[in-house]
Amino acid sequence: MVRKAAPTPRHPDIEIEKQLWQQGYTCVAGLDEAGRGAWAGPVYAAAVILPCDEHILQLLHGVKDSKKMTPLQRERWRGCIQSSSIAWAVGCASNQEIDELGISAATRNAMLRALNQLHYKADHLLIDYVRLKESDLPQVCLPKGDARCLSIAAASILAKTARDAYMLEMDSQYPQYGFARHKGYGTAFHRAILQTAGLCAMHRISFEPMHSLRMP
């Protein structure tokens, strides 16, 4: 089910989770991705199941869309999310998989991998935009879900911090590309390096401008 956009709350809340808890769902998983639009590296996804307790809203007050947080804020909240969740997990799909299947299918694969690694099986999904058609679980797709729904916002932070950590590791293998600086996204610096150094094994060759650079 795709839910129509409602006014965005000031902070992500648990109104949708509460509705589902009242309906008998006890393992509601929020899912979000990180790295969908990057030029290099994998796409990551995280799944987070919060406890069926309204106190979680106070415990995680300050959690919001990862794009609106600094790296230090995300890292601080990462540990709190992991320790206060019933279950959490992270999955990814490589840049090669993105090139082979397309970014949408690869993103869904990353989400499925996160779901499959949860210690408790989810019984309902809340997802930022994406419809996970490969799963038969009931699900709600929420426009701007990471700004509306606490479990999705929490997942956005875990996906982002996991992907950033991986890109930092790749920076040591490909230091000339500055992955620690831009995490594989299409900055002016990244574009300039591509013009001089060419492509590396981390790049998504199905994306522009990499596709054009690869062509003879």
Mean pLDDT across 47-74? 93
Distance CA(109)–CA(70), nearest Å, equals 27
In a domain, 32, yes or no: yes
Quick one: pLDDT at residue 189?
96
| 119 assigned to some structural domain | yes
**Within-domain flag for 142:** yes
Is the model's pTM score more than 0.75? yes
Contact 125, 16 (CB under 8 A): no
Q: What is the pLDDT of residues 11-24, one digit of tens each?
A: 899 999 999 999 99
Residue at 8 is within a domain: no
Domain presence at residue 85: yes
Provide the percentage of residues in the chain whose pLDDT is more than 70: 96
For residue 4, pLDDT over 60 is answered with no
In this structure, is residue 194 part of a structural domain? yes
Say what the pLDDT of residue 130 is: 86
Rounded to the nearest integer, the mean pLDDT of the chain is 94
Q: At 159, which amino acid appears?
A: A
Which CATH number belongs to the domain containing residue 125 in this structure?
A: 3.30.420.10
Number of domains in the chain: 1
Of 170, 152, 115, 108, the residue nearest 134 (C-alpha): 108
pLDDT band for position 67 (cuts 50, 70, 90): confident
Q: Is residue 176 part of a domain?
A: yes
What is the strand order of the sheet 124-128 is part of? 87-93, 43-49, 28-34, 124-128, 139-142
Looking at per-residue pLDDT, the higher value among 9 and 141 belongs to: 141
What's the confidence (pLDDT) of residue 38?
98
Which of residues 68 and 116 earns the better pLDDT score? Answer: 116
Domain containing residue 167: 15-214
Residue 72 domain-assigned?
A: yes
pLDDT of residue 128: 86
pLDDT at 195 over 70: yes
User: What is the model's pLDDT at position 180?
Assistant: 97
Give, as one character, the DSSP assignment of residue 116: H
Judged against a pLDDT cut of 60, whether residue 215 lies above it is answered with no
> Rounded to an integer, what distance in angstroms lies between the CA atom of residue 216 and that of residue 154?
44
Cis preceding linkage at 138, omega within 30: no
Q: What does the pLDDT read at residue 6?
A: 59
Range list of H helices, 55-187? 56-59, 71-84, 95-101, 103-117, 145-148, 150-173, 179-182
156-185 per-position pLDDT tens digit: 999 999 999 999 999 999 999 999 999 999
Q: Are residues 194 and 213 in contact, defined by beta-carbon separation less than 8 angstroms? A: yes
